[in-house]
């Protein structure tokens, strides 16, 4: 269960003709992918919601905290991705350092994270598009507008979006990167518009108090309270200093996806140099934009008066500029398209890597003879996510996605230390500084944010993990290609 796959074997597997992905990406492409997936739901939706409900103007500090946790993890991802330039991200890294069972668990975790993330983003995109259609006088039948306020329906627009991005991903990574570059250009322009235009309407009084006094959570919190409050006897509360950490655990969703850059390492022309640049560059750009937007929006409108559905657009409406609100809604709808695309890209690459290793059916590990993409896994996952998006309403899924990502961060940080000790001879184009200090700090910071997520999120995560263990022992362990090789040489362990 803890047999490891050597880095050399991982790289040799990528050279098999039927499993070889086409190398076409540069550092710029990777940075665009990173910015494309990170700037989305978090900046267009979570900014107002978290400011109003948990942190007030100090939501900017929450973004800094979440960004710092991601930066620690990014340094660890950069070393692994430059050392093991193979599809699969944290799954592949865990296989090389921790062993097969931990690798399976982290891969299973990533499938959950990216599938739910893609479905939730597609539903959010559908909401923005319906709003634009309503403004134009076009209305979808209620039965095709999704599930809302207890009313059941099928979200046709969300489903069609996932189908469309699946088709683009099948046609090739270079096409995907070009489409993403156009979309990223549009939404970064919209974000800069918010920052520049919004700064003209800032009122200093709206920042007072910058950290609102702590208030007890209604009904005592229960399973909806952060686990840290239940474990250490804190009175469940929002706002105050603890509110900043609780807010950071939620706005962390806004940073989901920078690690997807690592899943594209196998399709990068010079992964040792370009993957670390793509990871760190995209994270730095997005953190700066998030902090600036949160400062501007909470300065434009008192945090108690922010809306939770479309806070950026509604802030401009509140100061008498509906034109800007329309531009922002358009930018959000366009921007969420790239988020959905890149989340599905990351998920298909993790699934592909697990299939190539035999832990999932190898049928899904074939690449398209013309486009050089893992088309079978992409199409299969795209159809599943399209159905899920069609019947999903946005509820507490963001927290479930967050805990999956933070768990992956813990595994990667531990893996860096273990691989340094077991394979000090490996060439490392990028080296995480101050090992083991940085990895340990990454583990502790990720665990702290995990503890600030609701207890019910931990229960859902545990159920998914138990299901994953069952599948591994029923199928994955017996069909592992590494296991077959070791049995053939008499070195099974």
Per-residue pLDDT tens, the chain, 493 aa: give them.
778 888 788 878 777 766 667 777 788 888 887 887 778 766 776 787 788 888 889 999 999 998 998 889 889 988 888 888 777 777 888 888 888 998 898 888 888 878 888 887 888 788 777 777 776 777 777 777 765 555 567 888 889 999 998 998 888 766 667 777 888 888 888 889 889 999 999 999 999 899 998 877 654 556 666 676 677 666 656 788 878 887 887 787 778 777 777 777 777 888 878 888 888 888 888 889 989 999 999 999 999 888 766 678 788 888 888 888 778 878 877 878 878 888 888 888 888 888 988 898 888 888 888 877 888 989 999 999 898 888 866 554 556 677 888 888 898 899 899 889 988 888 888 899 998 999 999 999 999 888 877 788 888 888 888 999 999 999 988 989 888 887 766 554 4
pLDDT at 399: 64
pLDDT at 218: 58
pLDDT at 150: 55
Q: CA-CA-CA-CA torsion for 386, 388, 390, 391, nearest 10 degrees?
A: 170
pLDDT at 112: 81
pLDDT at 493: 42
List, in order, residues 6 or more apart from 140 with CB less than 8 Å away.
130, 133, 156, 157
pTM given for the model: 0.78
Count of all residues that appear for the chain in the document = 493
pLDDT at 394: 56
Query: What CATH number labels 23-486?
Result: 1.20.1740.10
pLDDT at 379: 92
Residue 373 burial (C-beta neighbours within 10 Å; 0-12, 13-18, 19+): buried
List the alpha helices (DSSP H) in 210-358: 227-232, 240-251, 260-263, 271-300, 311-318, 322-356
> Whole-angstrom Cα distance, residue 200 to residue 488?
70
Phi-psi region of 469 (alpha: psi -120 to 50; beta: other; left: phi over 0): alpha
């Amino acid at each position: 269960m803890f047999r490891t796959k050597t880095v050399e074997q991982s790289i040799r597997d990528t050279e098999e003709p039927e499993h070889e992905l086409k190398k076409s990406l540069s550092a710029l492409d990777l940075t665009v992918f990173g910015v494309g997936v990170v700037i989305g739901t978090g900046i267009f939706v979570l900014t107002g919601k978290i400011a109003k409900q948990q942190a007030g103007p100090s939501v900017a500090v929450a973004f800094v905290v979440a960004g710092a946790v991601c930066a620690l993890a990014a340094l660890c991802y950069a070393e692994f991705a430059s050392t093991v330039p193979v599809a699969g991200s944290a799954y592949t890294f865990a296989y090389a350092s921790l062993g097969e069972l931990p690798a399976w668990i982290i891969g299973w975790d990533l499938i959950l994270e990216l599938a739910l993330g893609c479905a939730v983003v597609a539903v959010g995109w559908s909401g923005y598009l319906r709003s634009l259609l309503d403004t134009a006088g076009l209305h979808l039948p209620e039965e095709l507008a999704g599930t809302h306020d207890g009313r059941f329906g099928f979200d046709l627009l969300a489903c069609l979006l996932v189908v469309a991005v699946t088709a683009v991903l099948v046609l090739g990574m270079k096409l995907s990167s070009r489409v993403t570059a156009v979309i990223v250009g549009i939404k970064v322009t919209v974000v800069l518009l918010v920052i520049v235009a919004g700064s003209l309407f800032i009122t200093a009084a709206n920042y007072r108090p910058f950290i609102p006094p702590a208030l007890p959570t209604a009904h005592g919190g229960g399973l909806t309270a952060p686990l840290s409050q239940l474990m250490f006897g804190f009175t469940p509360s929002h706002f105050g200093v603890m509110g900043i950490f609780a807010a950071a655990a939620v706005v962390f969703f806004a940073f989901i996806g920078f690690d997807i850059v690592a899943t594209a390492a196998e399709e990068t022309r010079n992964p040792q140099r370009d993957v670390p640049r793509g990871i760190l560059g995209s994270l730095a750009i997005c953190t700066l934009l998030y902090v600036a937007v949160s400062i501007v929006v909470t300065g434009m409108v008192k945090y108690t008066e922010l809306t939770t559905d479309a806070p950026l657009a509604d802030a401009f409406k509140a100061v008498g500029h509906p034109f800007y609100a329309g531009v922002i809604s358009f930018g959000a709808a366009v921007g969420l398209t790239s988020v959905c695309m890149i989340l599905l890209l990351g998920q298909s690459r993790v699934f592909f890597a697990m299939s190539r290793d035999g832990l999932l059916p190898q049928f899904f590990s074939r690449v398209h003879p013309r486009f050089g993409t893992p088309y079978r896994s992409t199409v299969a996952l795209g159809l599943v996510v399209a159905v899920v998006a069609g019947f999903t309403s946005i509820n507490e899924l963001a927290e479930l996605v967050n805990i999956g990502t933070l768990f992956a961060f813990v595994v990667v940080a531990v893996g860096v230390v273990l691989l340094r000790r077991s394979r000090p001879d490996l060439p490392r184009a990028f080296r995480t500084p101050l090992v083991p200090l940085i990895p340990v700090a990454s583990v502790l910071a990720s665990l702290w944010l995990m503890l600030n997520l609701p207890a019910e999120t931990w229960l859902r995560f545990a159920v998914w993990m138990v299901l994953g263990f069952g599948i591994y022992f029923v199928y994955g362990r017996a069909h592992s290609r590494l296991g077959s090789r070791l049995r053939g040489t008499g070195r099974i362990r």
